Amino acid sequence: MTGVAGLPTTDTQKLRLLLNVSRLIASRLELKPLIEEVVRQASRLVSADRSTLWLYDHGSNEIYTFLGEGLNQEIRMPLGKGVAGAAALERREIVIDDAYSSPYFNPEVDRQTGYLTRSLLAVPMESHDRQLLGCFQAVNRLDDTAPDGIGAFSEEDIDVLTALAGVAAVAVENALLYAEQKRMFNSFIVTLAQSVDAKDPTTSNHTMMVTGIAVAIAQYMGLSHERVERVRIAAVLHDYGKIGVPDDVLNKRGKLEDMEFMQMRSHCIKTILILSRIAFGRGLEDIPRIAGLHHEKLDGLGYPFGLKAEEIPLESRILAVADVFQALIQTRPYKQGLPPDQALEECWVMTRWHRDRFGRESGPHLDANVVNALGEILEANRGQLEFFEKMSGWDLMLAGEDL
Ligand SMILES: [Fe+2]
Ligand SMILES: [Fe+2]
């Protein structure tokens, strides 16, 4: 067994590394970071210069590079073409010592990347029920004793990569299922939101715009990816409780009677109650609360609970700014929408003591840090509102595509 300094050589080292990869795989569900780590470890385990993970695309009957070291663009090949394609089609490992003299080798990838392939090892990846998932490929076995530093892959390398491909296959299958569920969930919630917006055609794109504005603010304020996604989902569903508000109240143009006003306000608590019945899953348990608190005010005079300042989660304070700003810029049959800079100014007023729209003395409603973030975003985009449409991810979610 020949080795290279810094790479694992003993069976114990390799076993430990393989176990680490298995542990790591079990703890992640997001496909991309998971595969990045697996690909990196695969190279170390078999002392390869680089490794690539190809996935099988059932629709087109092609395999494509989902992730590869040294690759900056996706490469696609018909199933059966090239070493990876042949290993995937024939469901067996293929080991090649001299690529350019092998009939399997497709020099197209080298031509596209400027890399020189010498030795190759490809093993197929299958799901638990033997469906083809893709192929794991290691390229150029590093070997200090070879004249040019590149040797051939050994029987042991085949065993190690086959073992890794087996573990990775379980993870890839899980991650693909997870991604599929996520896409289904996204298209489902956007469809729900549209059903509410449809109750009042004059505010048809309200939810989409609130989502885009809230997501942009959350990202700008440096919230973690998980928190930004919570903001997105809560924004999509924030007015869902309106489904339980009578249409004539929702669409009434004139002043609302006390009873109607209460019915209108009840949409927040309805949002919480309805969403609480949904099993949101890990990390999303707070969605009903975040969504339902978008009419709370910092001075404690909002609804449904009259929470004050920090008692209101930051995510809900972000929704509040997005909701107010969108309502101000939106043109409706009975009012002309404000230009973004004026709407922003109104939001600033609402961060201080001010007179509310009923002329009442009112304390701070909106969080100044959140309004500040919105101001910075508007300035960076010169007030272009299309930016928020894109940020909402609405069309992608609706089409069940990845965000
Ligand atoms: Fe609302
Ligand atoms: Fe709203």
Task: Give the pTM.
Answer: 0.74
Report the distance separating Cα 108 and Cα 342, nearest Å: 56
Q: For residue 304, is the peptide bond before it cis, meaning its omega torsion is within 30 degrees of 0? A: yes
Which of 176, 211, 231 lies at the terminal end of a domain, its last residue? 176
Distance 341 CA to ligand 2 centre (A): 20
| 128: in domain | yes
**Virtual CA dihedral for 150, 154, 160, 164, nearest 10 degrees?**
60
Report the distance separating Cα 273 and Cα 279, nearest Å: 12
- Give the pLDDT mean for 160-164: 89
DSSP summary character for residue 241: G
Domain CATH number, residue 312:
1.10.3210.10
pLDDT value of position 370 = 98
Which of 176, 210, 242 lies at the terminal end of a domain, its last residue? 176
Residues 162 and 55 in one domain: yes
Distance 238 CA to ligand 1 centre (A): 6
Tell me how many domains the chain contains.
2
Q: Give residues with Cβ within 8 angstroms of 365, minimum separation 6.
A: 297, 298, 299, 302, 320, 324, 350, 351, 354, 356
pLDDT value of position 137 = 93
Distance 18 CA to ligand 1 centre (A): 51
Q: Give residues with Cβ within 8 angstroms of 15, minimum separation 6.
A: none
Taking a 5 Å cut-off on Cβ, the residues next to ion ligand 2 are: 239, 323
pLDDT value of position 1 = 45
pLDDT tens per residue across span 268-317: 999 999 999 998 888 899 999 999 999 999 999 999 999 999 999 999 99
Can you give the residue range of the structural domain that contains 126?
11-176
Report the 10 Å Cβ neighbour count for 308: 16
User: Which amino acid belongs to residue 179?
Assistant: A
Mean pLDDT, the chain, rounded, equals 89
Distance 211 CA to ligand 2 centre (A): 10
User: Which amino acid belongs to residue 115?
Assistant: Y
| 98: in domain | yes
Distance 294 CA to ligand 2 centre (A): 8
| Percentages of the chain per state (helix, strand, coil), in multiples of 5 | 50, 15, 35
Distance 327 CA to ligand 1 centre (A): 10
Residues 160 and 213 in one domain: no
Report the distance separating Cα 236 and Cα 316, nearest Å: 13
Report the distance separating Cα 49 and Cα 224, nearest Å: 34
Q: Which residue has the tokens 């530093």?
A: 149
- Give the pLDDT mean for 379-390: 91
Q: For residue 340, is the peptide bond before it cis, meaning its omega torsion is within 30 degrees of 0? A: no
Residues 289 and 344 in one domain: yes
**Which one of the ligands is nearest to 264 CA?**
1
CB-side neighbour CA atoms (13 Å) of 126: 14
3-state secondary structure of 122: strand
Residues 68 and 121 in one domain: yes
Q: Is 193 in contact with 240 (CB distance < 8 Å)?
A: yes
3-state secondary structure of 68: strand
Report the 10 Å Cβ neighbour count for 257: 11
Report the distance separating Cα 237 and Cα 241, nearest Å: 8
Report the distance separating Cα 164 and Cα 174, nearest Å: 16
Assigned token pair, 27: 């703890």
Residues 347 and 215 in one domain: yes
Taking 60 as the threshold, does the pLDDT of residue 147 lie above it? Answer: yes
| 360: in domain | yes
The more confidently predicted of residues 140 and 165 is: 140
Rg (C-alpha) for the chain, rounded Å, is 28
∠ Cα 351 304 344 (to 5°): 25
| 388: in domain | yes
Residues 163 and 257 in one domain: no
Residues 265 and 332 in one domain: yes
Domain CATH number, residue 43:
3.30.450.40
Specify the DSSP element, H or E, that contains 332: none
What DSSP assignment string belongs to 123-184?
Answer: EEEE-TT--EEEEEEEEEEE-TTSTTSEE---HHHHHHHHHHHHHHHHHHHHHHHHHHHHHH
pLDDT value of position 25 = 63
pLDDT tens per residue across span 19-35: 776 666 666 556 677 77
pLDDT tens per residue across span 351-384: 998 887 778 888 999 999 999 999 999 999 987 8
Taking a 5 Å cut-off on Cβ, the residues next to ion ligand 1 are: 239
∠ Cα 161 162 167 (to 5°): 95
pLDDT value of position 361 = 86
Distance 185 CA to ligand 1 centre (A): 22
Q: Give residues with Cβ within 8 angstroms of 52, minimum separation 6.
A: 39, 65, 67, 68, 69, 71, 84, 136, 137, 139
The more confidently predicted of residues 382 and 344 is: 344
Distance 160 CA to ligand 2 centre (A): 55
Distance 243 CA to ligand 1 centre (A): 11
Q: Which residue has the tokens 């939810």?
A: 207
pLDDT tens per residue across span 95-124: 999 999 999 998 987 888 888 999 999 999
Residues 383 and 309 in one domain: yes
Report the distance separating Cα 297 and Cα 321, nearest Å: 10
Taking 80 as the threshold, does the pLDDT of residue 205 lie above it? Answer: yes
Q: Give the bridge partners for 65, in sequence order.
A: 54
Which of 114, 144, 176 lies at the terminal end of a domain, its last residue? 176
Residues 252 and 382 in one domain: yes
pLDDT value of position 72 = 77
Distance 238 CA to ligand 2 centre (A): 6
Q: Give residues with Cβ within 8 angstroms of 267, minimum separation 6.
A: 239, 241, 242, 244, 245
Distance 199 CA to ligand 2 centre (A): 13
